[in-house]
Structure 1
Amino acid sequence: MQARPWYQFSPDEALEALKSDAGQGLATAEARRRLAEKGSNQLQARPGIPPYRLFLAQFQDLMVLVLLAATVISAFLGEVADAITIIAIVVINAILGFIQEYRAERSLETLKEMATPEARVRRDGEVLRVPAREIVPGDILLLESGDRVAADALVLRGSGLQADEAALTGESTPVPKEPGHLAGQVSLGDRRNMVHQGTVITGGRGVVLVVATGMATEFGKIAGMLQEVEAEETPLQKRLASLGRWLVLACLAICAAVVVTGTLRGEDLYGMFLAGVSLAVAAIPEGLPAIVTVCLALGVQKMVQRNAIIRKLPAVETLGCATVICSDKTGTLTQNQMTVRQVWAGGRSFSVSGTGYKPQGEYQEKGQRVNIKGDLQMLLTIAAQCNNAQLQKAGLGIGGWLRGGNGRFAGGAGRHGSFWSKLFGSRDEDSWSISGDPTEGALLVAAAKGGLWRERLEREEPRLAEIPFDSERKRMSVICRSGQGLRSYVKGAPDVILDLCDAILLDGRVVPLDTARRREILAQNEVMAGKALRVLALAYRDLPAGTEIQAARVEKGLVLVGLMGMLDPPRPEAAAAIQLCRQAGIKVVMITGDHQITARAVARELGLPASAGEVLNGQQLDAMDEAELARVAPGVNVYARVSPHHKLRLVRALKANGQIVAMTGDGVNDAPAVKEADIGIAMGKSGTDVTREAAAMILADDNFATIVAAIEEGRGIYDNIRKFIRYLLSCNIGEVMTMFVAAVSGLPLPLLPIQILWMNLVTDGLPAMALGVDNKEPGLMQRPPHPPGESVFARGLGRSMAILGFQIGLATLVVFILGLYLGDGDLPTARTLAFTTLVVAQLFAVFECRSEHLSPFAVGYFSNPYLVTAVTISLAMQLLVLYLPPLQAVFKTVPLNLFHWGIILLAAGWRTLLGGLNYYLVVPVRRLGWEK
């Protein structure tokens, strides 16, 4: 252990103490050894619920406890067989409930693992992305604006580095960070040479040395204060809990009436009490919360398979209500593979061939290849130097000469055999990629196509400092040593850069930038933007040695060199997804920082209306007050030239109109809007840790089509929840009606307590679970969103549920009475008929509950193999009770003959029979008549 605090170490001392190298980082083998020695870089989380407690919790329900007490009483009264059977059924129910809840717990834990943040680390000389939990002391981290710091670290190098340490110190002002060492005892908030785990980088870039991980970090020391409760009920679960309370009261009242009525008729009190408790257990859908949880968790796993990671369960339900999707253009609606297509330098326009990140192509003027020299060479030099991206092949950052350029080898030779196989074994163009900003990647590739590699340029003109880009400044500068002096290279938005220029480079000469030339440049910018190109202006300035590196000093009096126009083509699947949204009643809004003309061109390609009244820019937004924005927002499809703070205003304006808003974001400044939205969506690839934590959903592939897929899954999950609510409550209504009507009408009880419990096990368990994983209904995305907060019985569900339950109960009573009549009062046979009719009627009903709009024959009886399997198992279990002598004695049943089964199938399946006749005969005949 070090003898003094890390903030008292100089960078060199810390590197020596931790045996690390700033340029190469740790070796992979050494990092693994330290991980094994120090443990994962994680705070000790509150332990989860152990499995045995989950199991015991299944016996905490009031009705189950009453049933267990009744079972003990029956054992004392000599009904040992009944007691054992009831206990067995209760235990089986508990096991099923435990499996459901345990799967839900494991599903959510898996999702938390998938959402684990990553960090950029230098190992074996390579820049890699690794899970934050694998960071070890001695690692070299690379930080930039928006990153959440993965561990406590000492600053080695920094350029405008700032950190928000409010979560740790309570200080809301960002703290500047710079290399150095501090003497004496320094409070946590004043340690300017360190960054701490859990804090956020709000500006600049930096290279830091990890000195503490996990519980050894400052956050680790106060981990108990940072524990967050992960469990969160969805609004739907809360509504169902409220519904459950009312159902309990109603069922208890009805069951009490059954007990009192039966006792007054002369039935024994114990038997009626046990029947009432059994009926209450069967009637109250105590498994509903567990099934909802499992349905949500399994649905969330389906979303993961479609690249949508849900961080907050309420988002699953809210997705089904979404009415507006506000999406960033770049990388979400487009491919995020910027390619420079056109450049303008020295008053001449050049086209650039080649696509994607493969550094192969040429520069042409009027169809003829041109040599790279003069103004064009200077333009490409700025593009390469004023740049922080890295060109990679097969995930390896490698130098120019190995890529076909004139640079030198710049990557690490770790991994040996795999390195060479990656380098030379792949001929696929897709093996070329960019680490860093896609726009900077396009500039880097454009320079490489001209034979200008940053590795060689940086040897000739070493970089000394950087003034980083941000969304407010809309420009970036680097300062390099050039000869005996300095030179600043600047790139940014054309309107911003043009205002900072007073000269232009023409044919190798610096000439004044007069009004006529400014107009020419602006006109050229408009022409390029009109082709849906994103245009950047590039400039430079020579500075005397010793110039103070400040934006105000180095970003003025610039010499404009030219413009570069690049295209980020729309994703092929985005246009289809937008069309699907329109069919589903969901409005799509495109948000971009690009020029208004560019935004219109891309919108047209995507199929978004973009006429004059349907496009707003940032200046127009700034001129509007909140009321006016709320008035015009519903009619706007495209927002161009906007800053992140506009997003927050837009979300509030749309919500003021009663819209349910999904908002995407990736940068730090997007986090407020993402958090304010009903469904905040963060980018998994390009998003910052801050935005991911504010979001309810993360797109693993940054793809707009994934949002639409998640909405479709959300609607499907909500539909499935309504399906099994309809099924469970319809069946329960049928059971209660059967017993209540028989009791008040003077009939013998159609069901024994043990039969009621068995039926609850057979029909409510597996079939209901199978409905929870049912296929999405056809036409799901052709329906409008369901209103948020609507009752679970909305849109006719309550009525259809009551009708189905009434018909199940009526069929059971008719068969029971018929059994008594045909059997001359043979009560065991009549009860067996009623018992089996009620079970079979519920198994028929489960197929009807698969759709609120379509016939079971249209949906397909065999399209859900889980449901077919569940129904088969339930029916087999019922047959065992009917025909296995030991079980006949326990459940007081008698074997049924073919005539009995004919009655049962006719009574239980008459709805299905009529539905089949209608689907296969009536509907085709009507269709034929319409066609004629």
Structure 2
Amino acid sequence: MTQRAKTEVEEPEEEPGPADGPDGGASPAPVHRGLTAAEVAERVARGEVNDIPVRSSRSTADIIRANVFTRFNAIIGVLFAIILFVGPIQDGLFGFVIVANTGIGIVQELRAKRTLDNLAVIGEARPTVRRDGRAAEIPTSEVVLGDVLELGPGDKVIVDGEVLEADNLEIDESLLTGEADPVLKQPGERMMSGSFVVAGAGAFTATKVGREAYAAQLAEEASRFTLVHSELRSGISQILKYVTWMMVPTALGLILSHLYTLNLPADESVRRMVAGIVPMIPEGLVLLTSVAFAIGVIRLGRRQCLVQELPAIEGLARVDVVCLDKTGTLTEGGMDVRELRPWNGADEAYVRQVLGALGESDPRPNASLQAIIDVCPAEAGWRCTESLPFSSARKYSGASLNGPDGESTTWLLGAPDVLLPSGDPGLTEIDDLNSQGLRVLLLARAAKELDDPEVARGVRPAALVVLEQRLRPDATATLRYFADQGVQAKVVSGDNAVSVGAVAGQLGLPGADAPVDARRLPGTTDEMASALETGAVFGRVTPRQKRSMVGALQTRGHTVAMTGDGVNDVLALKDADIGVSMGSGSEATRAVAQIVLLNNSFATLPSVVAEGRRVIGNITRVATLFLTKTVYSVLLAILVACWQIPYPYLPRHLTLLSTLTIGIPAFFLALAPNKERARPHFVRRVMRYAVPSGLIAGAAAFGTYLLARGYYSGPDALAAETSAATLTLFLTAMWVLVIIARPYTWWRIGLVLAMAAGFLAVLVTPWLQRFFDLKLVGTTLPWAAVGIAVVASLLLEAAWRWVGGRFPA
């Protein structure tokens, strides 16, 4: 159909169709009115509905299962059950901490799920379905078997079907078949769900809906919750794997040593063994990572940013090259006609009539054509007999028109440098306009038929349409932010390179003064990568070239983000490390992107980058805290086994220490603002500080314990020894917290002081002393314990400085 879309499909007899001749005598193709309301109700009753739930996040059951049924929750659950059996209950406090942490994780992820699901509903596409002769948008889940669905450029095919109507309907099936070339569809041919329209219009009937449409299930995976590659997650999993391997031999060594070498009672041996094993488990690290991601989703959701895959927050923070599509990203979607310049003596009034007829011939005009329609409305007497929709690969559209005088003419509207031969003197005038940041279209009369592959050759120019693009007011600040953060911005557009360079120059993009015409880029990946490294603005880029550019940059080790809103961006979005789509973009781009900016604001991207950096930087900080505890726990277990002495701590002691020096502080630090630039090698960066810190803390605590064993005697000696060793370990672990809390702010200082006050309260409150079995005896050993902790703190400072200089990140 070549006429503008209408809310009601008229009977075929009422007006001639596009297949009619000049006299309107040919019979038009039948118009399909779609199902009736009764037929729809009948199909709904039979369950023939497209009922596949499109979810942007995990289900509630999945979230609960993922937070509860973990390897370490199982281990801690067993240890907790053992302590409940041998008693006392205060040695099982670690079990209640795990319950609380798991509950926090579930609540935060459920909040994130609610945010994601609400945003997904806002951004969900609504297909146009024809029922009772009327076209209306409905939710995807309400499509039924046999429905007639209308299609236009950018629409995604949501169910399998068969083509009923086709007006130069070109379908891209690359996401399903891998073939990048669009397929021209004719009535009767099969439509595959997951493909999308790149040009033309048409309608098809749904032959498979719901779970029967297998391709639709594959396509939905692009917008469901998935765990894409995340260095944080994989690094933490690697650390946990090593910890698991160490736990089993350590547990066996401790229990055998206490039972058979030291001849301690079984219940006491079990308590000491549990005390040695529990602190080795960095269980809160996994929780805090999930919580940090979840809160990031909630924060970005408030900015109308839909994160379809949670680790995408981290991924964008690691990006060092962002490829930007000019239209819709740097400029707003709308355009204005600034000037109409007739060429070759053409009459301006006649040119306006032709432009109005061209606008009328396209049922779904793009931004450029819509601007022309606004100033050149359709006039009576013109009729379109055949149309060629705009394609980003062709760079032009066209139509065969019958004028008021009955003359049949063929017209093309598109890029001047594509329609005119190289060296044409008119290109100089066009280049001058492009250099001002204006967009120029050429209206030309073709000498050949519209279906001729050579229709663009030998055209006669009739007029230039000069369009003014609307720059986004926030684009300059956003580009400046990326430059300050060391992120290269590459403008990749299908428009004229000079025009794109002028727009980028107005926005202050470095390198905009040397735009590159992509038609002259080398074909090999390595040579293209070299050109991309030096250039910043690229024009006349085809959809396939965009995809190649992303791959070429990735071969040079870059982490690439691609932004876009049109169907020509889909392949590049899919291949990029992070795909970012505008909420007003085509359904296809929203389906494959990891991040959707529902407010269509390019200025939201810095917020996403900042959120990712907050997550990465803070998790790196708190991971050092958790793994320091793991290292000193392993060291203490080894030293105790070698010296053949009782393990110095009970579970309650280490629960207290972990809560005050790690658990509570880590929760606040993980959610704090952090603008550190994201850096790679998470495991190496964490372990280079955690290993020396843990060794120093463990050695200091063990030194105090040995000193106390030689000083105290009598039946209460073990409690006194444990109290002194606990004091040293607490002070040393607190100094690790002091280092990690830098740079200091008022709330960080308050956090450290509050944790110190909490431990002091335990030492001076009688019932807390009894509950935690902590009581400092005398003054000599307690002050010696403080002195050892001071020496350990000085060693920590020296170690951190040495590691930072010797092994820079």
Question: TM-score normalised by the shorter chain: which range applies?
Answer: 0.7 to 0.9
Pick the aligned partner of 1:472 from 393, 396, 412: 393
Aligned to 1:726: 624
Aligned to 2:577: 678
Pick the aligned partner of 1:696 from 594, 613, 626: 594
Aligned to 1:359: none
Seen in structure 2, the aligned counterparts of structure 1 residues 148 and 840 have a Cα distance that, compared at 3 Å, is farther
Report the CA distance between 1:580 and its aligned residue.
Answer: 2.8
Aligned to 2:351: 379
Aligned to 1:929: none
Aligned to 1:430: none
Mapped to 2, the partners of 1:580 and 1:725 lie a distance apart of 29
Q: How does 1:776-791 map to 2 (within 5 A)?
A: 776-777=674-675, 780=676, 783=677, 786-787=679-680, 790-791=681-682
Mapped to 1, the partners of 2:160 and 2:392 lie a distance apart of 28
Report the CA distance between 1:839 and its aligned residue.
Answer: 5.1
Seen in structure 2, the aligned counterparts of structure 1 residues 389 and 599 have a Cα distance that, compared at 3 Å, is farther
| Structure 2 residue 486 is matched with structure 1 residue 585 | yes
Seen in structure 2, the aligned counterparts of structure 1 residues 774 and 277 have a Cα distance that, compared at 3 Å, is same
Mapped to 1, the partners of 2:779 and 2:45 lie a distance apart of 69
Seen in structure 2, the aligned counterparts of structure 1 residues 584 and 40 have a Cα distance that, compared at 3 Å, is farther
The answer to whether the 8 Å contact 2:335/2:468 transfers is yes
Report the CA distance between 1:752 and its aligned residue.
Answer: 1.4
Pick the aligned partner of 1:121 from 112, 116, 128: 128
The answer to whether the 8 Å contact 1:135/1:150 transfers is no
Aligned to 1:149: 157
Mapped to 1, the partners of 2:611 and 2:395 lie a distance apart of 38
Provide Cα deviations, 1:785-829, integer angstroms capped at 9, x if missing partner.
524xx24233xx434333443454466567767888699965445
Aligned to 2:515: 615
Pick the aligned partner of 1:205 from 164, 185, 201: 201
Mapped to 1, the partners of 2:38 and 2:459 lie a distance apart of 44
Q: How does 1:140-539 map to 2 (within 5 A)?
A: 141-151=149-159, 157-163=165-171, 177=185, 191-192=188-189, 195=191, 197-207=193-203, 214-215=210-211, 230-232=226-228, 234-253=230-249, 257-259=253-255, 262=258, 264-345=261-342, 375-387=347-359, 437-445=366-374, 447=375, 452-454=376-378, 457=379, 459-483=380-404, 484-498=406-420, 519=425, 521-539=426-444
Seen in structure 2, the aligned counterparts of structure 1 residues 334 and 223 have a Cα distance that, compared at 3 Å, is closer
The one-letter amino acid paired with 1:590 is V
| Structure 2 residue 76 is matched with structure 1 residue 64 | yes
Pick the aligned partner of 2:648 from 750, 755, 762: 750
The one-letter amino acid paired with 1:800 is Y
Mapped to 2, the partners of 1:212 and 1:902 lie a distance apart of 79
TM-score w.r.t. structure 1 length? 0.68
The answer to whether the 8 Å contact 2:151/2:203 transfers is yes
Aligned to 1:15: 34
| Structure 2 residue 740 is matched with structure 1 residue 849 | yes
Mapped to 1, the partners of 2:684 and 2:621 lie a distance apart of 11
The one-letter amino acid paired with 2:432 is V
Aligned to 1:561: 462
Report the CA distance between 1:620 and its aligned residue.
Answer: 1.6
Aligned to 1:713: 611
2:585 aligns to what SS in structure 1? coil
Seen in structure 2, the aligned counterparts of structure 1 residues 155 and 874 have a Cα distance that, compared at 3 Å, is farther
Provide Cα deviations, 1:3-52, integer angstroms capped at 9, x if missing partner.
xxxxxxx97675363479xxxxxxxxx99x99999798431579944576
Provide Cα deviations, 1:237-292, integer angstroms capped at 9, x if missing partner.
22322222223334555555555555534434542343123321211213333332
Pick the aligned partner of 1:631 from 515, 530, 543: 530
Seen in structure 2, the aligned counterparts of structure 1 residues 53 and 323 have a Cα distance that, compared at 3 Å, is closer
The one-letter amino acid paired with 1:335 is E
Mapped to 2, the partners of 1:71 and 1:666 lie a distance apart of 58
The answer to whether the 8 Å contact 1:819/1:833 transfers is yes
Report the CA distance between 1:893 and its aligned residue.
Answer: 4.0
Provide Cα deviations, 1:74-113, integer angstroms capped at 9, x if missing partner.
x3xxx4x42x455564254134225415643663575366
Mapped to 1, the partners of 2:509 and 2:724 lie a distance apart of 62
The answer to whether the 8 Å contact 2:657/2:730 transfers is yes
Pick the aligned partner of 2:109 from 70, 79, 104: 104
The one-letter amino acid paired with 2:233 is Q
Seen in structure 2, the aligned counterparts of structure 1 residues 228 and 663 have a Cα distance that, compared at 3 Å, is closer
1:576 aligns to what SS in structure 2? helix
Q: How does 1:900-915 map to 2 (within 5 A)?
A: none
Pick the aligned partner of 2:497 from 551, 573, 596: 596
Aligned to 1:42: 51
Provide Cα deviations, 1:336-365, integer angstroms capped at 9, x if missing partner.
3322223312579xxxxxxxxxxxxxxxxx
Pick the aligned partner of 2:99 from 68, 71, 94: 94
1:453 aligns to what SS in structure 2? coil
The answer to whether the 8 Å contact 1:832/1:893 transfers is yes
Aligned to 1:862: 747
Segment drifting more, 660-669 vs 214-223: 214-223
Report the CA distance between 1:494 and its aligned residue.
Answer: 1.4
The one-letter amino acid paired with 2:532 is A
Seen in structure 2, the aligned counterparts of structure 1 residues 686 and 746 have a Cα distance that, compared at 3 Å, is same
Paired-residue identity, %: 25
The answer to whether the 8 Å contact 1:101/1:293 transfers is no
1:590 aligns to what SS in structure 2? strand
Mapped to 2, the partners of 1:756 and 1:836 lie a distance apart of 11
Mapped to 1, the partners of 2:743 and 2:525 lie a distance apart of 50
Mapped to 2, the partners of 1:129 and 1:776 lie a distance apart of 43
Mapped to 1, the partners of 2:285 and 2:461 lie a distance apart of 68
The answer to whether the 8 Å contact 1:323/1:587 transfers is yes
Segment drifting more, 818-827 vs 636-645: 818-827
**Which blocks of at least 5 consecutive residues in structure 2 are unaligned?**
1-28, 798-809
Pick the aligned partner of 2:773 from 892, 896, 904: 892
Mapped to 2, the partners of 1:224 and 1:603 lie a distance apart of 35
Mapped to 1, the partners of 2:386 and 2:582 lie a distance apart of 30
Report the CA distance between 1:551 and its aligned residue.
Answer: 4.9
Pick the aligned partner of 2:687 from 798, 818, 824: 798
Aligned pair count reads 759
Pick the aligned partner of 1:775 from 666, 670, 673: 673
Report the CA distance between 1:643 and its aligned residue.
Answer: 1.4
The one-letter amino acid paired with 2:443 is L
Mapped to 2, the partners of 1:750 and 1:832 lie a distance apart of 9
Segment drifting more, 309-318 vs 488-497: 309-318
1:325 aligns to what SS in structure 2? strand
1:149 aligns to what SS in structure 2? coil
1:593 aligns to what SS in structure 2? coil
Provide Cα deviations, 1:164-198, integer angstroms capped at 9, x if missing partner.
5688999999665556xxxxxxxxxxx43x75644
CA root-mean-square deviation? 5.0
Report the CA distance between 1:478 and its aligned residue.
Answer: 3.0
1:119 aligns to what SS in structure 2? coil
2:337 aligns to what SS in structure 1? strand
1:148 aligns to what SS in structure 2? coil
The answer to whether the 8 Å contact 2:343/2:462 transfers is yes
2:327 aligns to what SS in structure 1? helix
The one-letter amino acid paired with 1:583 is D
Seen in structure 2, the aligned counterparts of structure 1 residues 577 and 549 have a Cα distance that, compared at 3 Å, is closer
Mapped to 2, the partners of 1:910 and 1:387 lie a distance apart of 81
The answer to whether the 8 Å contact 2:410/2:450 transfers is no
Seen in structure 2, the aligned counterparts of structure 1 residues 872 and 636 have a Cα distance that, compared at 3 Å, is same
The one-letter amino acid paired with 2:670 is G
Mapped to 2, the partners of 1:168 and 1:645 lie a distance apart of 16
TM-score w.r.t. structure 2 length? 0.78
Mapped to 2, the partners of 1:862 and 1:678 lie a distance apart of 36
The one-letter amino acid paired with 2:415 is A
